[in-house]
Amino acid sequence: MQSDLQVWQLILDASWMVKFVMLLLVVASVASWMIIFRKRQVLALAERGANTFEERFWSGGELNRLYQGITEKGNGSSGMEQLFVAGFSEFARMRNQGRMSPDRLVEGAERAMRIALARETDRLEHHLSFLATVGSTSPYIGLFGTVWGIMTSFHALANVNQATIAMVAPGISEALIATAMGLFAAIPAVIAYNKYSNQVERLELRYDNFKEEFSSILQRQAHSLAEE
């Protein structure tokens, strides 16, 4: 308890610049943890959604019924569902416009799925750059506060006839807290960024593989329609 009080007292006694650095690091840490928890939910939902949709898609049901079931939900679609809806709706729209070559039908569907994939990728990667920034810059921001605090402590010795370690120890301790806070903000951000980046890459790979497989299915359907 006494140690906690001493640390808090050191923070209160720090110079205005060191306090500003500490406040900046606390804000960055809080924002990082909010993003970490939110991103965990988003990626978990995306993985569950992909698993559920793939199970329905490869169950052998009709694509029309699957499309209607998704669009009738009314709460929007995301992830792999969004790729399917974008591709199938564009395929159906171009097919209803009149006779078109199979290649044009598939190209239109692929173009719509590429746009949907880009949007989903952007949604999944949202705020990851902030975690990367916090992880890479927080130690240096904390180090800046430490250097400033130590510099201030030694500068205060200029008017002292006999300097002792006891005179500079409190100031150095205050400054070192900034470095500790920088590491406290950086380490979780780096771990979360690496973990979530890997999850996003795996989801993007699954989406891209589905896009290619669905394009092949639409290609076969387009050729079947052309032969009728």
**pLDDT at residue 137, rounded to an integer:** 94
What are the phi and psi torsion angles at 20 (to 5°)?
-65, -40
SS3 162: coil
With a CB cutoff of 8 Å and minimum separation 6, the contacts of 35 are 127, 130, 131, 192
Please choose, from the candidates 199, 201, 193, the residue with its C-alpha nearest in 3D space to the C-alpha of residue 133: 193
The owner of tokens 């395929």 is 91
What is the Cα–Cα distance from 152 to 134, expressed in whole angstroms?
26
Rounded to whole angstroms, what are the CA distances from 150 to 8, 23, 147, 171?
Answer: 18, 18, 5, 6
Please choose, from the candidates 97, 86, 59, 122, the residue with its C-alpha nearest in 3D space to the C-alpha of residue 218: 86
* Contact (CB, 8 A) for 111 and 172: no
pLDDT digits (tens, 9 = 90+) for 46-61: 999 899 898 888 887 7
Q: Where are the domains of the chain?
A: 2-227
**pLDDT at residue 167, rounded to an integer:** 59
Q: For residue 64, count other CB atoms closer than 10 A to its CB.
A: 10
**pLDDT at residue 5, rounded to an integer:** 46
**pLDDT at residue 158, rounded to an integer:** 63
Total-model pTM: 0.82
Please choose, from the candidates 138, 128, 139, 137, the residue with its C-alpha nearest in 3D space to the C-alpha of residue 194: 128
In the predicted model, residues of the chain with pLDDT beneath 70 are 1-14, 74-77, 98-99, 156-171, 225-228
